[in-house]
Amino acid sequence: MESGKRIEYIDLMKGICIILVVMNNSGVLAELPDNMRFFDTLAMGRMPLYFLLSGLFFKRYGSFMPFLRRKFKLLVVPILVFGALGGLLIQTVPWTQWSLGNITRPSQWVAYLTSYTNIPLWFLRALFMGSLMMYVLHMLAERGARGIVAATAISVALSALTIAYATRWLPSESESVHKFVYRIGVFNGAAMLPYLFIGHLAVRLGVLKLDRRKRGAVRTAVLLALCSGVGCAVIDPGTVSWCFLVFDTSVSSIIMCPVLTILFVWAVAFLLQRLPYVSYMGRYSIVVLVTHYPMLRMLIDPGLDIRLAALITLAVMPGVIWLCVRYIPWACAQYVEKHMR
């Protein structure tokens, strides 16, 4: 995701996003009082924001097969490695009901490799499928204004149809259908596809070239942060899960909560540019994504307070990042980032 010099505030945005992911998966955000809608909105919009940030650096890398190989190494390999490692870690610590029969069942390994155990890996699967769709949209967008309009319409239509299916028809389906929909990632990727495409459009419009030193840039960012922050505090996000395709809220909230989250986080990150710890977490957000959930489960399952578990996980994460990047970069997308740009 680099092109020469890193864009520091993008790392900060990713860091804010991945910390929200950790806090949400620990259960801390769910325990906040009902009057703290601001954080509920940020929690609802964190995954679309992550999709948009991925779209900022989307490239086709020539023909389809090189693109597919790259995306496989970047997104599928971490699923295979940390699906297995995370599942084994969660189910073989001393306080679980471990048994050799449990981890030798084929169904158990299906659960590992489809992120039924290390749940946050669903996002990489959705991003992989979304990237395949984005490949086609990117080809359309290169054909000029009409292509951009067509690609935008297709992404919005696919998202709307997916959300409609998840809201109206999926609840009545059998459990096996629910598992199939969850495991393939196509529906999750389609639901958030507009944000992936918007990220690409933002680059075309020169958003990444914005400079704090330009006249009025700081004032505009401050105003945007204030307005979007107020919006996050007053809107009702309802109950939404991009992972399990649950959308128990209004259509306006499904649209506006991610938009407000994106605007708020973007404006704040643009103003601050860099916060060492948060920016570091953002730079290696994939490592955090694939490792944090087993750590949380190991701490929470024995009975540790969820807030303390979240703090411990966030505290040790820089060390976990260093170990992963140092010894298994190929398993957490770092080899791809360094050697295949």
Q: 9 φ, ψ to 5°?
A: -70, -20
pLDDT value, residue 340:
45
Which is nearest to 333 in space by CA: 272, 289, 273? 289
Is residue 337 pLDDT above 60, yes or no? no
- Write the CB contacts of 42 (distance below 8 Å, at least 6 apart in sequence): 20, 232, 261, 264, 265
CA distance 5 to 270: 16
Q: Give percent of the chain with pLDDT exceeding 70.
A: 94
CA distance 341 to 337: 6
pLDDT value, residue 320:
97
Of the candidate ranges 36-50, 105-119, 122-136, the one whose mean pLDDT is the lowest? 105-119
Q: What mean pLDDT, rounded, does the chain reach?
A: 91
Residues 29-60 pLDDT 10s: 888 877 677 999 999 999 999 999 999 989 88
Q: Which residue matches tokens 């703090």?
A: 311
Is residue 302 pLDDT above 90, yes or no? no
Residues 179-225 pLDDT 10s: 899 989 999 999 999 999 999 999 998 888 888 878 788 999 999 99
Mean pLDDT of 75-99: 84
> Which comes out higher in pLDDT, residue 162 or 94?
162
pLDDT value, residue 197:
96
